[in-house]
Amino acid sequence: MTDDFIIRIRDLKTAYGSHVVHEHLDLDIRRGEIIGIIGPSGCGKSVLLRAITGLKEPAAGSIEVFGKRLETLDAEERAAVERSWGVMFQDGALFSNLTVRENVMVPMKEHTELSPQLCRELADMKILMAGLHADAGPKFPSDLSGGMRKRAALARALALDPELLFLDEPTAGLDPITAANFDALIRDLQRALGLTVFLVTHDVDTLHATCDRIAVLGEKRVLAVGTIDELRAFDHPWVQEYFGGPRGRAAAGH
């Protein structure tokens, strides 16, 4: 597994006008792992996710997903790759005028030719997989709690049976118990479905509960990649403060 990489990023540069977010960024993500992406506010964690998923065009460098250089693909080839991943955005990004079931059906309608009835049945299955009750399907996002909206967004991300799952701050704004339950759900789904999970977070509890490895962003690049124990030994002020501060010690049970 160690040399089976599902994502390879080389010499990546991203920028907004003259503001450079990443430069000379390299990162490899192994098939079947949950990798946490952490770093100081403004270091470009979500921008990196957007660059990999094609929502932010890199200024330089290459991104390879499933062995394919995304910038070299035509629209049809690109769509085929995108069907193999699911994205859960930071705020859920659910369509407020659609029910939960209809939200989950959106990728199915966009990327498949399944019948409406089959789409509804599959959507209901994804809703259950995401830990919601079946009666959540006909509800609108505004009818749901924050934790339930996160699960609805996860159900939509799982709509096309992806191999690769992108999660942007999945537990942000949740109370500790709801967040811990969500972390456990992600771990269970990853094991059951063989997913590779790219998880942007600032929550040290989530890292302990879910992640196989962690990549630390800072200074426009990846500063270090490793397990929590390996990163604890990494001599960098922000990393030491993150894992050695009160929250880091509490999450580690120290």
Structural domains of the chain ordered from first start: 33-51+74-252 (3.40.50.300)
Q: What average pLDDT score do residues 212-236 get?
A: 95
pLDDT value at 2 more than 50 = no
In the 8-state DSSP scheme, what is residue 219? T
168-201: per-residue pLDDT in tens? Answer: 999 999 999 999 999 999 999 999 999 999 999 9
Q: What percent of the chain has pLDDT over 90?
A: 82
Q: What is the rounded CA–CA span in Å between residue 26 and residue 199?
A: 17
Helix or strand holding residue 124 (H, E): helix 116-129
Write out the two tokens for 147: 């934790």
Angle between helices 100-111 and 116-129 (to 10 degrees): 120
Cα-based distances in Å from 208 to 83, 133, 180, 213, 228: 30, 27, 11, 10, 8
Q: Which pLDDT does position 254 carry in this prediction?
A: 53
pTM of the full predicted structure? 0.92
pLDDT value at 249 more than 80 = no
Q: How many CB atoms lie within 10 A of CB 79?
A: 12
Bridge partner list, 196 = 164
Residues counted in the chain: 254
Q: Which pLDDT does position 1 carry in this prediction?
A: 39
Q: What average pLDDT score do residues 17-43 get?
A: 96
Residue 30 and residue 8 in contact, taking contact as beta carbons nearer than 8 Å? no
In the 8-state DSSP scheme, what is residue 143? G
pLDDT value at 220 more than 80 = yes
Q: In this structure, what is the dihedral angle of CA atoms 247, 248, 253, 254, given to the nearest 10 degrees?
A: -100
Write out the two tokens for 64: 């390879």
pLDDT value at 166 more than 70 = yes
pLDDT value at 9 more than 80 = yes
Q: What average pLDDT score do residues 216-220 get?
A: 96
Using DSSP's 3-state secondary structure scheme, residue 111 falls into: helix
pLDDT value at 248 more than 80 = no
Write out the two tokens for 112: 């498949």
